[in-house]
Amino acid sequence: MNILLESQRCLDRLLADESWPQMSQAARSVFEIRLRKEFPKLFANLFALYGHRYDFYYYLQQLLASLAQAYHERPRALKLKDKQRQVDPHWYQSEDMLGMACYVDLFAGNIKQLKAKIPYLLDLGVTYLHLMPLYDSPKGDSDGGYAVSDYRKVNEQLGTVDDLKELAKALEKAGISLVLDFVFNHTSDEHRWAKAAQAGELEYQEYFHMFDDRTIPDQYEQHLREIFPQVRRGNYTWNEKANKWVWTTFNSFQWDLNYANPAVFNAITEEMLFLANLGCEALRLDALAFIWKEMGTNCENQDKAHTLIQAFNSCLQITAPAVVFKSEAIVHPDEVLKYIAKDECQLSYNPLLMALIWESLATRNTQLLSQSMRKSFTISPDCAWVNYVRCHDDIGWTFDDEVAQNLGINGSDHRQFLNQFYTGRFEGSFASGVAFAENPSNGDCRVCGSLASLAGLEKAIQANNPQHIQHAIARILMIHSIILSIGGVPLLYSGDELGLLNDYSYQQDSSKQHDDRWVHRIGLSDQALQQASHPQSAQFAISQGLKKLISLRQEHAIFGQSATTIIDADSSHVFAFNRQNNAGEQLLVLCNFSESPQQLSSQILRSLGSQSSKNIINEQTLITNNSHIELQPYEVMWLVKN
Ligand code: OTU
């Protein structure tokens, strides 16, 4: 069969579908042009997934009708945005980009009140706002909202869908792109599909992975990881009502969707387009590594997971092309890269950079960071990294064991060391973190804690040690300086702009105490804001220092669209890289990851191509000669040609 020919023949038939909504001729023609362009790819991907089924064409027809309907419902202002983005598809590569992720309630109370916080965001320079999942979800523990009961309903505590639409408009007016979660690997057990499945409806039981006994689960289980071993062992949960085992990769109340069923693909596409039509400009694809299950594999990063995401992407290109995907693949670095492509995910979290920044802080050695970035930083020029140091989740040490091996580092021993270091069990560690998801079978764990606490501020303040406080502040600013300069969208996690410390109050809350990630999900209180306004406080130094770095980034085009090259510095404590753009501008970044001064040969400045260079952070001039340049403890230099 010739797929291209077949897809064209099929499309001609589908275009005659009379169940589509009545559109104006102009609207219909825009839709048709996009559909014709994207359809061969969409068809090929869906055919690879579902072509073997007798009902393939039925589902295809149903899908196109949904796309037409969602396009028809897409508000005019958003259609305009679609057009604007077409002429500026690489908007996320701009030096102006600065992201922030926050929980609506912790940051502002509710959605309406968040609108009043827009000036705060603007003052910081934020242009991209990721709101943690704010959909209807089970009362009590809902995995921080990642168990969705209704994608079309906002959690009552936070507001309504209308509030969210209003907020999207207000943000757009302020030049801030709204980012929402697309939690599509699973729904909550209270979603209407899951309820129907529990009531015994076969059609909906096929929306999930449900089994009468342990035979098949046990076969799968031989190859599966456990993600939250602290709450439940294994990947399945017995459901009394349905009298079946249900696949639950995460918490027992999060039911994995069955994408081998085309009805699920169609249904979730409708939910996705509903979110797109609310006015968000990026969708964060939660847990996307897990969406395709294949017996005999670990059921992560399967080829068909990519096929599915590309198919979803085509649906967006046809209906809401202003919206881009952000990949949340917190997996092996080689697998992370596979999700990043113009027709798959245009944006991706950079978990490798995140983990190795912390690794270098602990070891004071930047070799693993440098070698790993050299291997894995370059991505398609159409795409961008989302660089972060902390987020709402734990830290997992996802580096490549082979890269480590080449440096004489044993991967699993090193992970054990890092866990001990960041949970404060390693003597002399500056960090105050909490172990998370400890696996009793193999001793694995991951690390929680706020950026400031992990970087040493909590301990330093407790000990009332001014030098340690200074070091902690310098560490915090240095690691922020990396995400602000290395290339991509820097993403701050709300609270870190003020250096907030761990909040242990979750240990008293029965719906939170078993999930230590709450230690770093901290409310932005008036008290915290006040504290940060005292010039003597560490929080003041952090917030002012950070603001300065952000303004510098936004003032210089070199931080936007330009290539990144990792450089060897003649000190294993220094992380160095160069940025270079088409206009011939350059930036050299040097970061000292140790608490002792480091001397580098001034030859490193040569790459800038002039005798004299300027550190834009402190306006100091440096001369390339035969002597050395000195970096103070945890100092960063952003050097440009003078
Ligand atoms: C995501 O993370 C979210 O970021 C978490 O907050 C959710 O709990 C989870 O999905 C379920 O919705 O396990 O510890 O390998 O690490 O997708 C975080 C990828 C997680 C997973 C990641 C997941």
> What's residue 307's pLDDT?
98
> CA 147 to CA 139: how far, in whole Å?
10
Which is the closest atom of ligand 1 to the Cα of 249? 11
Q: Is 286 a catalytic residue?
A: yes
Tokens in use for 597? 């001064």
**Å from CA of 491 to ligand 1 middle:** 17
When pLDDT is cut at 50, 70 and 90, the band that residue 443 belongs to is confident
When pLDDT is cut at 50, 70 and 90, the band that residue 6 belongs to is confident
> CA 482 to CA 355: how far, in whole Å?
13
Considering the candidates 181, 286, 400, 496, report the single residue annotated as catalytic: 286
Residue 636 placed within a domain: yes
> What's residue 18's pLDDT?
85
Residue 582 placed within a domain: yes
**Å from CA of 97 to ligand 1 middle:** 25
pLDDT higher than 90, residue 599 = yes
Answer for the pair 452, 466: CB distance below 8 angstroms, yes or no. Answer: no
Which is the closest atom of ligand 1 to the Cα of 186? 12
Residue 300 placed within a domain: no
Average pLDDT over residues 485-496: 98
**Å from CA of 89 to ligand 1 middle:** 29
When pLDDT is cut at 50, 70 and 90, the band that residue 82 belongs to is very high
Residue 353 placed within a domain: no
Which residue in 124, 121, 184, 133 sits closest to 158, CA to CA?
Answer: 133
Among the ranges given (299-308, 573-582, 603-612), the one the predictor scored with the smallest mean pLDDT: 603-612
**Å from CA of 143 to ligand 1 middle:** 9
What are the two backbone dihedrals, phi and then psi, of residue 178, each rounded to the nearest 5 degrees? Answer: -85, 135
For ligand 1, residues with CB inside 6 Å are 143-144, 146, 183, 227, 250, 286-287, 289, 328, 330-331, 392-394
Candidate from 225, 254, 330, 445 with most ligand 1 atoms within 8 A of CB, to mutate = 330
Candidate from 131, 141, 184, 250 with most ligand 1 atoms within 8 A of CB, to mutate = 250
Q: Is 328 a catalytic residue?
A: yes
Among the ranges given (6-15, 102-111, 266-275), the one the predictor scored with the smallest mean pLDDT: 6-15
Helix (H) or strand (E) holding 416: helix 411-422
Average pLDDT over residues 452-462: 98
> CA 435 to CA 394: how far, in whole Å?
9
When pLDDT is cut at 50, 70 and 90, the band that residue 63 belongs to is very high
Closest residue to atom 7 of ligand 1, CA basis: 146
Q: Which residues pair with 589 in a beta bridge?
A: 577, 638
CA dihedral sign of residues 239, 242, 245, 250: negative
Q: Which residues pair with 395 in a beta bridge?
A: 447
> What's residue 289's pLDDT?
98
Domain ranges, residue 583: 562-641
Candidate from 185, 393, 447 with most ligand 1 atoms within 8 A of CB, to mutate = 393
Neighbouring CB atoms inside 10 A of 3's CB total 14
> What's residue 97's pLDDT?
98
pLDDT higher than 90, residue 564 = yes
Residue 237 placed within a domain: no
Neighbouring CB atoms inside 10 A of 60's CB total 23
Among the ranges given (337-351, 385-399, 611-625), the one the predictor scored with the smallest mean pLDDT: 611-625
| Long-range contacts formed by 152-157: CB under 8 A, 24+ apart | 152/271, 152/274, 154/111, 157/105, 157/110
Residue 577 placed within a domain: yes
> What's residue 638's pLDDT?
98
Which is the closest atom of ligand 1 to the Cα of 300? 15
| pLDDT tens, position by position, 239-281 | 999 999 999 999 999 999 999 999 999 999 999 999 999 999 9
> Which residue is associated with the tokens 């001034």?
602
Which residues, 6 or more positions from 202, have their beta carbon under 8 angstroms from its beta carbon? none
| pLDDT tens, position by position, 352-373 | 999 999 999 999 999 999 999 9
Helix (H) or strand (E) holding 325: strand 324-327
Burial classification of residue 69, based on how many CB atoms lie within 10 Å of its CB (0-12 exposed, 13-18 middle, 19 or more buried): middle
Q: What b/e string do you get for 129-165 counting C-beta neighbours within 10 Å, with b at 16 or more?
A: bbbbbbbbbbeebbbbbbbbbbbeebbeebbeeebbe
> CA 163 to CA 10: how far, in whole Å?
41
pLDDT higher than 80, residue 626 = no
pLDDT higher than 90, residue 53 = yes
> What's residue 510's pLDDT?
94
**Å from CA of 397 to ligand 1 middle:** 14
| pLDDT tens, position by position, 158-201 | 999 999 999 999 999 999 999 999 999 999 999 999 999 999 99
> CA 20 to CA 303: how far, in whole Å?
33
When pLDDT is cut at 50, 70 and 90, the band that residue 19 belongs to is confident
> What's residue 534's pLDDT?
96
Number of domain units in the chain: 1
pLDDT higher than 90, residue 522 = yes
Neighbouring CB atoms inside 10 A of 577's CB total 22
> What's residue 449's pLDDT?
98
When pLDDT is cut at 50, 70 and 90, the band that residue 234 belongs to is very high
**Å from CA of 394 to ligand 1 middle:** 9
Pairing of strands 563-567, 135-136: unpaired
Residue 576 placed within a domain: yes
Q: What is the CATH number of the domain that holds 625?
A: 2.60.40.1180
Answer for the pair 37, 249: CB distance below 8 angstroms, yes or no. Answer: no
Closest residue to atom 2 of ligand 1, CA basis: 287
Average pLDDT over residues 121-134: 98
Q: Which residues pair with 491 in a beta bridge?
A: 99, 388
> CA 474 to CA 493: how far, in whole Å?
18
Share of the chain above pLDDT 70, in %: 100
Q: What is the mean pLDDT of the chain?
A: 96
Residue 135 placed within a domain: no
> What's residue 596's pLDDT?
96
Which is the closest atom of ligand 1 to the Cα of 250? 11
